[in-house]
Amino acid sequence: MKRLLNSCDINRTLIGDLLIRSLICQKYKINNEEIRFIYNEFGKPFVENFSDFHFNLSHSGEWVVCTTANFNVGIDIEKVSEIEAFKLAHEFFSEEEFYKISNMNSDEQINYFYDLWTLKESYIKTIGKGLYIPLNSFSIKKESRTLISYKNIPKNFYFKQYNIDPNYKISACATRDEFPQEIIIKDIYTIFQNIYKFESKEKINAED
């Protein structure tokens, strides 16, 4: 689960930047050049002059995902691949989480590992501290797709999982139980179009 930056990561990071910029342009009807990002001490980004706008990005494989709200949110996506789930769970997860995984077969271990990994990542991204919070310092238990319990996490945090691709896990976390029912899928053309639309209006107004 190491974080290595390669050319594919860079491309997805750029697409993520374009995606959030297009959403900001669309929401606030502003030019892309007016968007300024600021960061907290742990590196979580915010939009300058729009303190009530919260967002989070994640990418893996062929997907880039983003969540926005007027309260703290976090999201994580991971491509499911063959891993040593038992070993990784022992290294990263709490004793309670590891115990549950240890009683599963290998396929179940991999599937449940990615469920927990994305849920836990979405939480630490919501609070804005990233991996400064050890993953084994709190526990999450998934009973079903809609029933998720946890320990050592404040009560005002909520979780939801989405399915857009059978080979990926997506988990979202927020400080309010106000999740959209479905994910809106946008192609790169639509993203560019949203950004350019407001830049074009700005140029027309300037010429007038």
Q: Which two tokens stand for residue 116?
A: 């927990």
Pairwise CA distance, residues 101 & 42, whole Å: 31
**pLDDT, position 207:** 42
**pLDDT, position 163:** 94
The structure's pTM equals 0.88
Pairwise CA distance, residues 164 & 184, whole Å: 10
Phi, psi of 114 (to 5 degrees): -70, -30
Which residues is 19 bridged to in the sheet? none
Pairwise CA distance, residues 95 & 8, whole Å: 34
Segment 105-138, tens digit of pLDDT: 999 999 999 999 999 999 999 999 877 899 999 9
DSSP class of residue 183 equals P
**pLDDT, position 146:** 66
The percentage of residues in the chain with a pLDDT greater than 90, rounded to a whole number, is 72
Segment 64-85, tens digit of pLDDT: 999 999 999 999 999 999 999 9
Going along the chain from its start, the domains and CATH numbers come out as: 40-186 (3.90.470.20)
Residue 56: pLDDT band (50, 70, 90) is very high
Segment 145-180, tens digit of pLDDT: 667 888 889 888 999 999 999 999 999 999 999 999
